Amino acid sequence: MVLSRAATGSEENVCSTFGSRYVRTALPKYEIGESSIPKEAAYQIIKDELMLDGNPRLNLASFVTTWMEPECDKLIMESINKNYVDMDEYPVTTELQNRCVNMIARLFNAPLGETETAMGVGTVGSSEAIMLAGLAFKRNWQNKRKAEGKPYDKPNIVTGANVQVCWEKFARYFEVELKEVKLSEGYYVMDPDKAAEMVDENTICVAAILGSTLNGEFEDVKRLNDLLVKKNEETGWNTPIHVDAASGGFIAPFIYPELEWDFRLPLVKSINVSGHKYGLVYAGIGWVVWRTQQDLPDELIFHINYLGADQPTFTLNFSKGSSQIIAQYYQLIRLGFEGYKNVMENCRENMVVLREGIEKTERFNIVSKEVGVPLVAFSLKDHSFHNEFEISEMLRRFGWIVPAYTMPADAQHITVLRVVIREDFSRTLAERLVADIVKVLHELDTLPSKISRKMGAEDFGNMKGKKVERDILMEVIVGWRKFVKERKKMNGVC
Ligand SMILES: *Cc1c(COP(=O)(O)O)cnc(C)c1O
């Protein structure tokens, strides 16, 4: 007797996942399904669909960590079920966070006695850290204005136009006017002189960036500090500084120890850093530290008592995972100063290899700096036939994810490609990338220009020689930029 498959009634037990009906039926997409499916099938199907995501290790757009040691992966998996907010239940995790805060504050030269505890907190990333720091500045400023009997309804914050989007979010969510110092061609960070000029009595703080997202350059915090010290003396406003060291906070202390950008400067009252960038932890951890207790107004802190000690909490979210905090503590003790220094030096050296390879093609201008976050930002010297967006797209075919984007105001006419060098980007990969860029350039040279093809398709017929080539070129470039800008809203460089 031959049994039909259905008649056995145990298809799931007999068939392999790929022999089961789950790989041929449509799975629920936008509404929860009626019935359950076997765990093996659910795993396989989701895993397979995820194959179409880019490879994180080849995602050169991001500063965020994509590799950690297997021992730390293990610790992360072992703590994946711990809610950080349950401080009573998980006092050791809370203690590890406090140790990280103290280590980081001292790394940034907070003026702390040997037994003094630092003021700071672990966050989901630099964005949350910046919201908290910004709120502290806003509240301090309001309290001061109230005490002086002055209006306190028009706070503003001064930054460069190169700030990361989280500052725009802070400004909009917490109703603070964002006053941006414009950039110019060849100068892509906040000019401290212009920033100091922009400061007025309603300025809650000036935010400087250690490691501009666009080209990795460190802003001149020391000069900003000196200018503001002078201005504060003249006006009595006491305008403080926040340093957004999201990417540079774990670089400068190790390889540029002489650079004064942190709490060594008296007006720097708070600093944020992304643990998940050069802190070398996977996505989901940031830190904010304050210079002293007075810099964080007490009314923003919620106090929880546990085990007889006072646990101040100051975060936007309540629940979150513990594993990133544990992973940060792992990296700090595992690597120590020596380990972080070695990693950062390697990143810098691989950056140099990549930069020299790109320079050797003689086709690009380098827009990033020698000192800064280890990345190479570069733009084409000649745009007559092809542009950076085409290069970015063609590199994708080799597996590389290299973003192209335009600079903010007033340097919008400059487009750059940017490669971030992370810990796991070795010299071998750097050399391969250069070889692939060269291949792309050769291929582009043999291809008809998209620019002239566009001209033929769209404009040539009815144009009758009215437009000069230059105008058309501009049109195409503007079109591309618009395209990328719109795309950026969804998956911007980070
Ligand atoms: C990445 C970055 C941020 C945002 O940090 P997240 O940790 O991703 O929230 C803010 N500022 C700068 C300068 C950055 O590079």
- DSSP string for 301-329: PEEEEETTEEEEE--S-S--BSHHHHHHH
CA of residue 196 to ligand 1 center, whole Å = 23
Is 7 a residue whose pLDDT tops 60? no
Is 233 a residue whose pLDDT tops 70? yes
Q: Let me know: does 285 contact 130? Beta carbons within 8 Å.
A: no
Which CATH architecture group holds 5-53? Answer: Irregular (4.10)
Q: Let me know: does 230 contact 221? Beta carbons within 8 Å.
A: no
Band of pLDDT at residue 458, cut at 50, 70 and 90: very low
Alpha-carbon distance of 429 to 433, in angstroms, equals 6
CB 374 near ligand 1, within 6 Å:
no
CA of residue 8 to ligand 1 center, whole Å = 57
Band of pLDDT at residue 457, cut at 50, 70 and 90: very low
Q: What is the per-residue pLDDT across 282-341, written as a single tens digit (0 to 9) for each?
A: 999 999 999 999 999 999 998 877 655 666 788 999 889 999 999 999 999 999 999 999
Is 55 a residue whose pLDDT tops 60? yes
Q: How confident is the model at residue 455, as a pLDDT?
A: 47
The values of phi and psi at residue 431, to 5°, are: -65, -40
CB 440 near ligand 1, within 6 Å:
no
Band of pLDDT at residue 489, cut at 50, 70 and 90: very low
Is 8 a residue whose pLDDT tops 70? no
Band of pLDDT at residue 88, cut at 50, 70 and 90: confident
Fold of 348-491: Aspartate Aminotransferase, domain 1 (3.90.1150)
Give the pTM.
0.89
Q: How confident is the model at residue 49, as a pLDDT?
A: 95
Q: How confident is the model at residue 247, as a pLDDT?
A: 97
Question: For 74-334, CATH number?
Answer: 3.40.640.10
Give, for 472, the enclosing helix (H) or strand (E): helix 469-491
Where are the domain boundaries for CATH 3.40.640.10 in the chain? 74-334
Ligand 1 pocket test, pick from 128, 159, 164, 282 with the greatest ligand atom count within 8 Å of Cβ, gives: 164
CB 246 near ligand 1, within 6 Å:
yes
Q: What is the mean pLDDT of residues 160-164?
A: 94
Is 447 a residue whose pLDDT tops 90? no
Name the residue with tokens 């919008």.
Answer: 412
Alpha-carbon distance of 78 to 97, in angstroms, equals 17
CB 274 near ligand 1, within 6 Å:
yes
Band of pLDDT at residue 12, cut at 50, 70 and 90: low
CA of residue 285 to ligand 1 center, whole Å = 11
Q: How confident is the model at residue 305, as a pLDDT?
A: 73
Alpha-carbon distance of 126 to 123, in angstroms, equals 7
Q: How confident is the model at residue 460, as a pLDDT?
A: 40
CA of residue 286 to ligand 1 center, whole Å = 9
Give, for 463, the enclosing helix (H) or strand (E): helix 461-463
Fill in the amino acid letter for 175.
E
Ligand 1 pocket test, pick from 63, 121, 190, 274 with the greatest ligand atom count within 8 Å of Cβ, gives: 274
Alpha-carbon distance of 110 to 246, in angstroms, equals 17
Q: Is the peptide bond before 410 cis (omega within 30 degrees of 0)?
A: yes
In terms of C-beta density within 10 A (0-12 exposed, 13-18 middle, 19 or more buried), how is residue 232 classed? middle
CB 209 near ligand 1, within 6 Å:
yes
Of residues 378, 384, 436, the one with CA closest to residue 405: 378
Alpha-helical (H) ranges within 148-276 are: 165-173, 192-198, 221-235, 252-255
Is 471 a residue whose pLDDT tops 70? no
Q: How confident is the model at residue 271, as a pLDDT?
A: 98
- Rounded to 10 degrees, the C-alpha dihedral 131/137/138/142 comes to 160
Q: How confident is the model at residue 449, as a pLDDT?
A: 78
Is 467 a residue whose pLDDT tops 80? no
Q: What is the mean pLDDT of residues 157-161?
A: 97
Beta bridge partners of 379: 365
Q: What is the mean pLDDT of residues 77-99?
A: 92
Where are the domain boundaries for CATH 4.10.280.50 in the chain? 5-53
Q: How confident is the model at residue 246, as a pLDDT?
A: 98
Alpha-carbon distance of 357 to 316, in angstroms, equals 44
Instruction: Give pairs for 354-361: CB < 8 Å, separation 24+.
Output: 354/419, 354/421, 354/430, 354/433, 354/434, 357/430, 357/431, 357/433, 357/434, 357/437, 358/434, 358/437, 360/434, 361/434, 361/437, 361/438, 361/441
Alpha-carbon distance of 115 to 162, in angstroms, equals 39
In terms of C-beta density within 10 A (0-12 exposed, 13-18 middle, 19 or more buried), how is residue 139 classed? middle
Higher pLDDT, 407 or 204: 204
Beta bridge partners of 310: 305
Q: Return mean pLDDT, the chain.
A: 90
Q: What is the mean pLDDT of residues 348-354?
A: 97
DSSP state of 57: G
Where are the domain boundaries for CATH 3.90.1150.160 in the chain? 348-491
Q: What is the mean pLDDT of residues 460-472?
A: 52
Ligand 1 pocket test, pick from 130, 162, 213, 405 with the greatest ligand atom count within 8 Å of Cβ, gives: 213
